């Protein structure tokens, strides 16, 4: 007979084993991609994407030494950050599309926002961080990455490449934001190598104006090798680490 307690420990033992095996495989894959690209693996960080997975998975990954976690939905992330407030040293990254009316909530818990794609959103985040600092719920500025739209269809998020310089200057002038770099997602059914090559060119021009914005958040489960070839410093990986997400519209 297996009691509730035994079942719970057995299951969590299994999940720990699963995540630990997947993590080792993924770190090996990132390492191999770096070596193939002639890059130092220390220059590419793994950002585990834990959206749709429970806080208990984040706690397991924390036990396996991870400290940064990516989330894409404000409500889910706000709840998880609150539930795990006692885990030491956690840095939450907001990677999904963000509406301006959620900026205030995100500014309370986010270490980095990867998806800033308008001056109005940046201004709202700056105000949110100021309020959070005044309320003593956060200390430092918010790191932000500007999301560049590689898609010709502007509906899918990201600033148009032509508008990137003006947005970068705007963000650089905001007191509570730190312009840390760029982020992009290749369009569906595109050749990631070609898209990341375009992104690398935009990044070169961006760095000439903002030399401290060296972060490049690019690459996911399916295309991280291509992203690493083109200079990614942060790969955002969900499925290849956590397993398949439930099918949703979000
Ligand atoms: C979900 C998500 C990811 C992770 O995608 P996988 O293909 O599961 O690795 C990366 N970036 C963003 C912005 C996401 O929303």
Residue 248 has pLDDT above 70, yes or no: no
Range of the domain at 124: 4-249
pLDDT tens readout for residues 133-146: 999 999 999 999 99
Q: How confident is the model at residue 246 (pLDDT cuts 50, 70, 90)?
A: confident
Q: Where residue 65 sits, what CATH number does that domain have? A: 3.20.20.10
pLDDT at 151: 86
Ligand 1 binding pocket, CB closer than 6 Å: 49, 51, 72, 95-96, 185, 220-222, 236-240
Residue 152 has pLDDT above 80, yes or no: no
pLDDT at 154: 65
Residue 180 has pLDDT above 70, yes or no: yes
Which among 30, 48, 68, 70 is the best mutation to test ligand 1's pocket, defined by most ligand atoms within 8 Å of the CB? 70
pLDDT at 8: 45
The arrangement of strands across the sheet holding 68-71 comes to 45-48, 234-237, 215-217, 177-184, 142-148, 110-116, 91-94, 68-71
- The pTM of this model reads 0.93
Closest atom of ligand 1 to 115 CA is: 13
Q: How confident is the model at residue 157 (pLDDT cuts 50, 70, 90)?
A: confident
pLDDT tens readout for residues 15-67: 999 999 999 999 999 999 999 999 999 999 999 999 999 999 999 999 999 99
pLDDT at 138: 95
Q: How many domains does the chain have?
A: 1
Sequence-ordered list of residues with C-beta below 8 angstroms from that of 7, at least 6 positions apart, any chain: none
**Cα of 136 from ligand 1 centre, angstroms:** 31
Residue 250 has pLDDT above 70, yes or no: no
SS3 of 139-200: the string is CCCEEEEEEECCCCCHHHCCECHHHHHHHHHHHHCCCCEEEEEEEECCCCCCCHHHHHHHHH
């Amino acid at each position: 007979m297996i009691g509730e307690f035994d079942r719970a420990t057995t299951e969590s033992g299994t999940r720990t084993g699963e995540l630990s095996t997947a993590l080792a495989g993924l770190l090996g894959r990132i390492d191999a991609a770096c070596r193939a690209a002639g890059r130092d693996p220390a220059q590419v960080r793994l950002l585990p994407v834990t959206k749709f997975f429970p806080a208990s998975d984040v706690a397991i990954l924390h036990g396996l030494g991870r400290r940064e976690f990516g989330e894409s939905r404000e409500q889910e992330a706000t709840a998880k950050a609150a539930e795990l407030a006692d885990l030491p040293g956690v840095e939450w990254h907001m990677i999904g599309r963000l509406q301006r009316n959620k900026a205030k909530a995100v500014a309370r818990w986010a270490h980095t926002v990867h998806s800033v794609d308008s001056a109005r959103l940046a201004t709202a985040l700056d105000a949110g961080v100021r309020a959070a600092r005044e309320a003593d719920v956060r200390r430092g500025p918010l790191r932000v990455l500007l999301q560049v739209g590689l898609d010709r269809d502007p509906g899918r998020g990201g600033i148009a490449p032509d508008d990137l310089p003006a947005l970068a200057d705007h963000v650089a002038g905001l007191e509570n934001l730190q312009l840390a770099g760029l982020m992009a997602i290749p369009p569906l059914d595109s050749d990631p190598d070609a898209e990341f090559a375009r992104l690398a060119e935009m990044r070169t021009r961006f760095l000439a104006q903002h030399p401290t914005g060296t972060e490049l958040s690019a690459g996911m489960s399916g295309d991280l090798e291509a992203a690493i070839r083109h200079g990614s410093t942060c790969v955002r990986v969900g499925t290849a680490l956590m397993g398949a997400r439930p099918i949703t519209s979000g």
